[in-house]
Amino acid sequence: MAEKLIKLEHINIKESPHVRSEYKQETAEEYAEQYKLDKAEMPDCILFETSAGSYLVADGMHRIAAMKLAGMKSNTFDVRSGSRTDCVKFALKCNVSHGIRRSSADKRACVELALREFGEVSNNSLSDACGVGVDLVIKVRQELESKKQIPKFEKLKSSDGREFKRKKQNEEDSDTVEEGKVVSGFGKDKTGYPHTANSFKYAGRTDEVSTLINSITDAYKTLKKAKSDKDLLFCELNFNSIETDFERVIMMLKVAIPYAVCPSCQGQVVDKCRLCSGRGIISQFKFDTGVSDELKKIRRMKIEQE
């Protein structure tokens, strides 16, 4: 790691890993104003210098765009040595930990990049690298394989480098799997219990709830800032009531997030199970409060036997 003054024209944007689904012009313009005011306040971008002498962006794509908008020709960067592969791995991790809040499309773009670059790596390892649920990795892998956009590997590698043969079910499209059937290729729920085709169908939509919560949270933050700034545009609002309502809605929406395969019907939605209402999976709130200690004990024993 070294601080270097680099000309912006020497940075290879095209070959750099793009971990976002789209470029946001408004974000770059906002950053550009900050560079004009005080560039020292902006965090360093991280580049990787390859053996070929090329500079690739690992962290800071929007900031570099902002530098150009601000009329800058060069800047000091945190420069590291490594291959493009090293740069991609670093970019995936950076994308998870900070920067613009990721949308569902961003998470998918991140997974697609990881699968195109490291398709032979296991779903669990890619899930950790991308900071997403393993269900999303499996879903995107199946889609890209079916469209022949990535190769279908007969063997995958675990995080410790060991190879293992993919199970036959793992190669099937989720729509072709009989509902209620436990398929290890669909990953596990938050408790470590294997998904069924039915529970996986809803667990794979977790991002839809998260995106909705994020949108409401953003609106909540905007109004809280208006209150703090004493913005007269909102002077007639009852902020105490609004804050209470926002917090209640956010709390209620979190109950929609899939958490555990239903311990009552085991995800097989037998007679439209009352506990899971027929979706095969329940929330953490319902798991904590609506599942008996006996059922939880049985669930733990089954997980330990896996």
Looking at 163-238, list the stretches that DSSP marks H as alpha helix, in order from N- to C-terminal side: 197-203, 206-229
For position 99, what pLDDT does the model report? 58
Round to the nearest angstrom and report the end-to-end CA distance of the chain.
43
Classified as helix, coil or strand, 207 is: helix
From first to last of the 306 residues of the chain, give the pLDDT tens digit. 678 999 999 999 999 999 888 888 999 999 999 999 887 778 889 999 987 778 999 999 999 999 999 999 999 999 999 899 999 999 988 776 555 677 888 889 999 999 999 999 988 889 888 888 888 898 999 999 999 999 999 888 887 677 888 765 444 333 333 444 444 456 788 888 888 878 888 887 887 888 888 889 889 989 999 999 999 999 999 988 998 999 999 989 988 999 999 998 988 887 778 899 888 999 999 999 989 998 888 888 888 876
Q: Quick one: pLDDT at residue 177? A: 38
Residues 287 and 299: their CA atoms lie apart, in Å, by 11
Long-range contacts of 176-180 (CB under 8 A, 24+ apart): 179/268, 179/269, 180/267, 180/268, 180/269, 180/280
Q: Residues 82, 50: contact at Cβ < 8 Å?
A: yes
Report CA-CA distances (Å) from 286 to 32, 195, 254, 258, 276: 46, 17, 11, 10, 9
* Half-sphere exposure (Cβ direction) of 176: Cα atoms closer than 13 Å: 8
Name the residue among 143, 76, 134 with its Cα closest to residue 116: 143
Q: How many CB atoms lie within 10 A of CB 215?
A: 11
| 35 backbone dihedrals φ, ψ, rounded to 5° | -65, -35
Which pLDDT belongs to residue 262? 92
How far apart are the C-alpha atoms of 120 and 126, rounded to whole Å? Answer: 10
